[in-house]
Structure 1
Amino acid sequence: MLKFVTFFFVALAVLLPQQWASAAVWSITYPRPLSAEDKRHEYPLAVLTLALEKTGVRYQLMPSDRIILQAKSIRQLAENREIDVIWSMTNKQREEVLLPIRIPIAKGLIGWRVSLINKDDSARFSAIDSLAQLQQFSPIQGADWPDTKILQANGFSVYTVTEYTDANEALILRQGDFFPRSVMEVTKELEALGRGSDLMLEPDLVLQYPAAMYFFVNKSNHTLAKLIQTGLQKAVDSGEYDKLFQETFEPVIDDLNLRQRRRFKLNNPLMPEDSPVDDTALWFDIEK
């Protein structure tokens, strides 16, 4: 019944005159963050808010009643239960079961990866000057993350963990050698670790592969997909999408010294063919 009411309100917002649509408040549920310290949701929510504001629809964004890990959130959304939207790195499998809005949330920055390492391994990593050398080290990733298969396809032996929160402990226990993290995530994760941690940010290397984080909705929810798509495109056209990206990530890019790092480019065999890779307005270009 709730889904029917949601769809009805959205249809009103899209199909009826603005003064009619403004009477409906549309509740949109997203997966609750893992904890108060988990800040990975802040930027995607800011983008989603910007998109919805551009449409003029009255809305309320709400976290789910319980924590739902990524793999389960994909299943729940595919079954049209508990949540209405997620954001996740795309791959062919996810686009088969969910409906993607193909405007990258962070200009593909999700595919730029710096790494957490053990502090006493700093000298080992500073000696690396080729991808072949780095491939002798084992990265740590989540078992259900697309990045795991990307790294495996590029010759890495990946140590996998069930939950995101287990990865740092696996690194400390030396079950793997490094934990590649997206540029858009790593700064706040380092803050959460604190100065007393045995882990540090590796200072010289960056992995880069084509990747996009999209908003996804249920396959049948074309109204919500159209609404988010329309709002995002308006934000791109107005320059507000670029402005939000730059305000959020230019300081991070500078702090991580991203332009001076040695970059190893990887292939992404999981990137769907419909990805808008030729639309340069949607992608981060380090040369520019």
Structure 2
Amino acid sequence: MVNPLLILCLLISSSAFAAEAIRVQPQRTAVDGSYLYYTDLLRLVLSNTSKEYGDAELVSISRLTQARAFQALHDNLIDVFWAGTSREREVFVEPIRIPLHAGLLGIRIPVIRKADQARFDSLHNLSDLQQLSACQGDHWPDSDILEANGFNVLRATKFEVMYQLLQAGRCDYFPRGINEVYAEVSHISRNDLMIYERIILNYPFPMYFFVSRDNPRLAERLTKGMEQLAASGELLTFLQQHPTTRDIFPLSRLSNSWIIPLHNPLLPELTPLTDRRLWIELPSRNSQSPTVP
């Protein structure tokens, strides 16, 4: 007969060493190929800090739009959310100010319809591009940034419909972060879209992990873990080797692209722009006019 006291001791011991559940968003859609980058990076940070803070595991909750996710984070319904930052967002939740992709989120490469390549090749100046329509998220800071720089933006609430809008001709291009675009386009079932590397929109726009202000221990843990990765160079190595981002490199192939520098009026004052460990710059010229294709 099993000793009841032994069972009770085993249950108490198992409970004491149970991993902490860290609630995160699920993958939005199969096209959201960059999702694994964030969860793998988060697991790495949690693993590297487990001796001091204990074991933790990720638990997915219901799918949320960015606006609802930030509200859920504020209300302690999720524990970690990753997104581009803005002044408004940093007022209500706690940012971990280590850019997750060394600032590459602000390097935006258009996805276009293959049938429109000649049309984009014929663009001669910034105003030509501004007359076209860009698909973007309704609550994304990118939409406000593009509009503040004179671009036409078609806003959509759900990420999964944006590529469909592009394919249907509702917008002319979908600017995606260089850290996102290759993984996403590789997951699109139809073969009518292409990554158009000749044009690059460039603005300072770091993506961070965010946590609730009511969870300072988790904020401290993620800050320590991310700072360790950045200081050791492991964060850059992770970026260069992860399956969803390794196709970004080498960046030298973009040296002849038409780089369009844009102003980000939403950038918080505490953004660590002067910490060169945290950023990667394009090895190319800035230009207001394209080269001949």
Does the pair score TM above 0.5? yes
**1:12 maps to what in 2?**
none
**Residues 147 and 250 (structure 1 numbering): CA distance in 2 closer, same or farther, change over 3 Å?**
same
2:72 matches 1:66: no
2:95 matches 1:103: no
Asked if 1 retains the 8 angstrom alpha-carbon contact of 2:136 and 2:174, the reply is yes
Counting only pairs closer than 5 Å after superposition, residues 1-288 of structure 1 correspond to structure 2 as 23=17, 25-55=19-49, 56=51, 57-81=53-77, 83-194=78-189, 196-248=190-242, 249-254=245-250, 257-287=253-283
Counterpart of 2:211, as a letter, is V
Calculate the TM-score normalised by the size of structure 2. 0.85
**Residues 256 and 70 (structure 1 numbering): CA distance in 2 closer, same or farther, change over 3 Å?**
farther
Calculate the TM-score normalised by the size of structure 1. 0.86
| 1:188-234 deviation per Cα after TM superposition (whole angstroms, max 9, x unaligned) | 1111114x432222231111100000000011211110110011111
Counterpart of 1:29, as a letter, is R
Asked if 2 retains the 8 angstrom alpha-carbon contact of 1:28 and 1:59, the reply is no
| 1:224-270 deviation per Cα after TM superposition (whole angstroms, max 9, x unaligned) | 10110011111122221121122234532338933332111111000
Identity %: 35
Asked if 2 retains the 8 angstrom alpha-carbon contact of 1:119 and 1:199, the reply is yes
Structure of larger gyration radius: 2
User: How many pairs are equivalent?
Assistant: 265
Unaligned runs of 5+ in 1: 1-21
> 1:61, CA displacement in angstroms?
2.8
> 1:40, CA displacement in angstroms?
2.1
Measured in 1, the distance between the counterparts of 2:282 and 2:240 equals: 12
Counterpart of 2:264, as a letter, is N
Unaligned runs of 5+ in 2: 1-15, 285-293
Report which stretch shifted further, 169-178 or 203-212.
169-178
> 1:23, CA displacement in angstroms?
4.1
**1:4 maps to what in 2?**
none
| 1:63-87 deviation per Cα after TM superposition (whole angstroms, max 9, x unaligned) | 3232222221111111111x10000
Asked if 2 retains the 8 angstrom alpha-carbon contact of 1:141 and 1:180, the reply is yes
Asked if 2 retains the 8 angstrom alpha-carbon contact of 1:139 and 1:177, the reply is yes
Measured in 1, the distance between the counterparts of 2:143 and 2:57 equals: 31
Asked if 1 retains the 8 angstrom alpha-carbon contact of 2:45 and 2:226, the reply is yes
Measured in 2, the distance between the counterparts of 1:156 and 1:255 equals: 26
Measured in 2, the distance between the counterparts of 1:25 and 1:169 equals: 40
